[in-house]
Amino acid sequence: MMGAFSNEPMTDFSLADNRRVFEAALTDIKRLYGNSYPLQIGGRTVQSESMRPSVNPARHGETVGLVAQADRKRATEAVDIAAAAFERWKRVAPAARARTLYKAAALLRRRKHEFSAWLVAEAGKTWVEADVDTAEAIDFLEYYGREAERLCAPQPLVRLAGEDNEWSYVPLGVGIIIPPWNFPLAIMAGMTASAVVAGNTVVLKPASATPVIAARFVQLMHEAGLPEDVIQFVPGSGGEIGDVLIDHPLTRFVSFTGSMEVGLRIVERAARLQPGQRWIKRVIAELGGKDAIVVDRDADLTAASQGIVQSAFGYAGQKCSACSRAIIHADVYDEVTERVAALTRRLSIGDPVLQGTDVGPVIDRAAYNKIRQYVAAGKKEGRLLAGGGMDDGAGYFVEPTIFADVDSQATLAQDEIFGPVLACIRADDFGHALAIANDTPYGLTGSVYSNRRERLELARELFHVGNLYFNRKCTGALVGVHPFGGFNLSGTDSKAGGPDYLIQFMQGKVVSEKM
């Protein structure tokens, strides 16, 4: 029996010992740069003719690993084999399945800095952001293990005389797991482990920017005792193999986290009945955001300015929860925008391998080019207050950039940019600020800074987002503390890391016996 869940503590990098150990991990993993990572299907290693380099976004000349690419034939085979493996895995006792997660959490805790070092190298995370990502992965393993034990036990029912009724949850079947690159350990591990601990087998297609971390996690799950045919590891281009994975008649559900465009495509394809298919495919889709921080007239302006900067520029703005709109009451607009710009100009941009770096690179050239277009558009749609510079000489670096006086309907205030670009919007009053906040197709996170109780209560009722924060930043959801997921086109509100999550990978079965 495991004790109650509690969150994994963060590493204190102000301590010299912790810094030394982390430096050593960063050096250590370099020995493994350039290693090859094959596909893994049915417990067998499958080589591929096509290998893709995964590069360090802070030094795009540096290859951190070579990763086999699945083609459509391999992708189809992976679903077939996962379906065969399901027949055995679904009969393994839930407590035993949970124990493989607890063991994986223990292994990951022991090798925490090694995994965080890979996050620095492959995803361009700063030390602190990498440490948080690894801690969250540990949390997901611990949390979903306990959730599986809770949900797989018989659930309470009303009693009827003369009958024995039992209600329990059983797994679904083969799940396709398609995570994004921005939490390449935590989200990937959480999506995979939740499906697996519920008794399903999966095909894991990692994001093409961060497959090495995923490969190393799959290896860790095997070390923890997970049978090797439970996770099929199938890296490859989503555009190329995504459709065959989704369309396969043996696919039972899809767990997707990524952009709105790809998510909606998956929802549509999964809805079509394929020859031989015997169920309605379930789709869990967590998508993008255009998250706002609202600053009221009588808020703590120091705290609000710091919260905006942290939420907008942490991990170079590449979080679904990142603040990309600051909506500020007209009475304090000039003061807040100036403070935010001043704090932003102090951020250090550079290679996150150095501990003092605040803002690392963006993930790849496509992201860099997309952000460049928005910065150019911003110069027409607003007044440049800070940043605006870009440099892709060594890595994909974008200065934290702030535009003031942006119209709430401008592209800069409506599109998810997914980079370090913040739009500041002036609001006439608090009600106007909330109306602007709600006026995008998304509804993921948001914050309100105010010292007036009635305003906070108004926001509690009207600010339509899945995760709403008061007087704190809008990023940094913790497993078990802040179950996470968005409204509207931000997704299916699956609430990852919460008590409603695991049930989505199971179905309830009731057995009634006449006595």
In terms of CB distance, is 327 or 489 closer to ligand NAP? 489
Which residues here bind ligand NAP, judged by CB under 6 A? 178, 180-182, 187, 205, 207-208, 237-239, 242, 257-259, 262, 265-266, 286-289, 320, 416, 418, 444, 486, 490-491
Which tokens go with 405? 């006086």
Residue 3 has φ and ψ, to the nearest 5°, of -70, 180
CB of 211 to ligand NAP, least distance (A): 9
Of 152, 320, 323, 424, the active-site residue reads 320
For the CB of residue 287, give the shortest distance to ligand NAP in the complex, in Å: 6
Min separation Cβ 131 and ligand NAP, Å: 18
- 441, burial (CB in 10 Å: exposed 0-12, middle 13-18, buried 19+): middle
Sign of CA dihedral 400, 406, 412, 418: positive
Closest distance between ligand NAP and the C-beta of residue 205, in Å?
A: 6
> Which residue's CB is nearer to ligand NAP, number 78 or number 299?
78
Cα torsion through 80, 82, 85, 89, rounded to 10? -150
SS3 177: strand
> To the nearest whole angstrom, how small is the minimum distance from the Cβ of residue 429 to ligand NAP?
30
**Minimum CB–partner distance for residue 482 and ligand NAP (Å):** 12
- The smaller minimum CB distance to ligand NAP, of residues 305 and 494, is found at 494
Torsion sign (Cα): 86, 92, 93, 97: negative
Tell me the backbone φ, ψ of residue 56, rounded to 5 degrees: -80, 120
> Does the annotation count 320 as an active-site position?
yes
Catalytic, out of 8, 77, 136, 286: 286
Q: Which of the 8 DSSP states describes residue 274?
A: P
Q: Which residues contact 42 (CB under 8 A, 6 or more apart)?
A: 81, 84, 85, 228, 229, 232
- Which residues touch 157 (CB under 8 Å, ≥6 apart)? 165, 166, 167, 510
CA atoms of 214 and 297, how far apart (whole Å): 45
Q: Which is nearer to ligand NAP, 237 or 274 (CB)?
A: 237
Nearer Cβ to ligand NAP (287/434): 287
Question: Closer CB to ligand NAP, residue 202 or residue 336?
Answer: 202
Active site residue 461: no
Cα 206 from Cα 212, distance rounded (Å): 9
The amino acid occupying position 225 is G
Q: Which residues are known catalytic residues?
A: 286, 320
